[in-house]
Chains A and B, each alone.
Chain A
């Protein structure tokens, strides 16, 4: 018999609605799996009492006919979401023991749909990282293992990815500023959706780079992603960038029929020195879509090369401004002061001991590119380049392309510690295929599509037109069916 925690959202929904199982049973199953998986470092704050209480309420609600699809589904929530009365630290020491007095809109939307929160999930500090190695809680570990090495689950939503891949929860929330949902999803063989900018409210999500941040679901299947995205999304007056347009029934759009869809293959994504396995995966994916009836076309996105450098101006600039609020006065940790220390020492010491090295690096780079004399040369230039990157996509879509297929990452998961010794720029390259999507505000989804020669999962990315997540997910669903990826990590933890 399958353990209940191994179910997908769609399977659990059907069993909950037919009264074959209860949310309480499902939740218990996840809680046991979580307690047996401390080695993965995925759940950093467990909330079993809250979960059981919510499960009981969900079971009551499931007795009625019209319970929502997500009712009774146990989830993990990334630590970056403010959850009322429960530690929400964005994996930073500076938010030590911060328990918000309010609930983020996305997690509230999920609760309103009857979901169960199992606990908070590990991540890179303030979502700055691609390996979950900058977390104050320590590393999250990839459940996939092919030799004695422990592998990264990717980042920044590394805890979310590890938890879903290891069946500790049915799905998890993530956030994506440069690839933080899609890269970890690819590294762990799960599905990760970054919606169109403005689809999900950012209210109550601890801010990294406000013009790029977007929340999204991390799930076992594309169908689950479609179901969960609908529950997360929606206009919110508390976030002025959340857009007031209808949230469609994404699941109903998974028809599997992609005949005649025009899929663009961007030539600029063919990087020098790209591993042959990634190249092959991309070709295979292209063939699968062609066989499913899509029309494959080569396209050009000429400014692709400049996306990462533009990102590493814009994201740190916004971060330096957003993270100015951590001053040791209103919440979080305050450094011990020496006699005679004034307010500036309070700020400087608190921030020196509260932020980790990568966060400090980015805050200072951001401070520099925004400082008098450099604002035009760096920040404004990066924003102009960003406009050109978006224009590249606008033109391709205006020519009738429905979606774009690319690799999700330039490699499979690497070993923990292997990149942290290298210079920070090496780590930044992880986002080379994903970051353009954030800069252009587009939806993107990572779908597991194969394995490398050692047996580690690899992902493909489908990029959709703005607000066309349904169409994008239908193409991803077709890819998922054709690829038939069903491998699971062997349990070693």
Chain B
């Protein structure tokens, strides 16, 4: 599996990270090096093995669906780069 500049651009887009077009070639090369290393995993016979989801043999605990926290608008907005009238502010999303 070889990644070219176009695939690198697609991955960057999916990851929402802007990459200058002149840097895509170098990025693709790094991806290929790392994926080449990862390709060793193809040597392993994994037939019949379930993908691991948790290392602890523990069922996730359930709790009652009660409101136990909240009413913290000031705290929630405290670290926002831009907020207005009690909301996070972003560029226009809907015309």
Give the B-binding residues of A (Cβ under 8 A): 98-101, 197-198, 211, 237, 240-241, 243, 303, 305-306, 308-310, 312-313, 320, 324, 327-334, 337, 341-349, 351-352, 355, 360-361, 363-365, 367-369, 371, 378, 380-388, 390, 423-425, 428, 439-441
From A240, A368, A423, B11 is in contact (CB under 8 Å) with A368
**Contact flag A387-B37 (CB < 8 Å), given A241-B56, A331-B79, A333-B81:** no
Which residues from A are CB-within-8-Å of B92? 342
A424 and B78 form a contact (CB under 8 A): no
Q: Are A360 and B17 in contact (CB under 8 A)?
A: yes
Q: A303-B44, A308-B37, A330-B80 are in contact. List 17 more A-B contacts (CB 8 A).
A: A243-B56, A306-B44, A312-B38, A342-B92, A349-B18, A355-B17, A360-B15, A361-B30, A361-B34, A364-B8, A364-B27, A383-B52, A384-B44, A385-B46, A388-B44, A388-B46, A439-B55
Contact B79 A320 (CB under 8 A): no
Q: A371-B14, A378-B38 are in contact. Are A387 and B90 (CB under 8 A)?
A: no
Nearest Cβ in chain A — how far from B93, in angstroms? 5
Count residues of chain B with CB under 8 A from any CB of chain A: 50
Interface assignment of B61: CB less than 8 Å from any CB of chain A = yes
List B contacts of A330 (CB < 8 A).
Answer: 79-80, 88
Who on chain A is nearest to B75 by CB?
A101
* Cα A303 to Cα B61 with chains together (Å): 32
CB distance from B90 to the nearest CB of A (A): 6
Closest residue on chain B to residue A379 by CB atoms: B51
Q: Is the CB of B11 within 8 A of A332?
A: no
Q: Contacts A309-B41, A342-B91; is A237 near B63 (CB within 8 Å)?
A: yes
Once the chains are docked, how many angstroms separate the CA of A294 from the CA of B46? 36
Q: Once bound together, how far apart are the Cα atoms of A381 and B1, in whole Å?
A: 15
Minimum Cβ distance to chain B for residue A309 (Å): 5
Can you pick out 22 interface pairs between chain A and chain B where the beta carbons lie within 8 Å of each other? A241-B54, A312-B37, A320-B15, A327-B16, A329-B88, A329-B90, A332-B79, A342-B92, A342-B93, A343-B90, A347-B16, A351-B16, A363-B15, A364-B8, A364-B27, A365-B35, A367-B14, A378-B41, A381-B41, A383-B52, A383-B53, A384-B51
| Chain B residues within 8 Å of A371, by CB | 11, 14
Q: Does B66 contact A (CB under 8 A)?
A: no
Select A384's contact among B3, B46, B61, B72, beta carbons within 8 Å. B46
Q: Which of B33-70 contact A (CB under 8 A)?
A: 33-35, 37-44, 46, 49-56, 58, 60-61, 63
With both chains docked as a complex, state the minimum distance between the C-beta of A217 and any C-beta of chain B, in angstroms. Answer: 21
Q: Which residues of B contact A364 (CB under 8 A)?
A: 8, 11-12, 15, 17, 27, 31
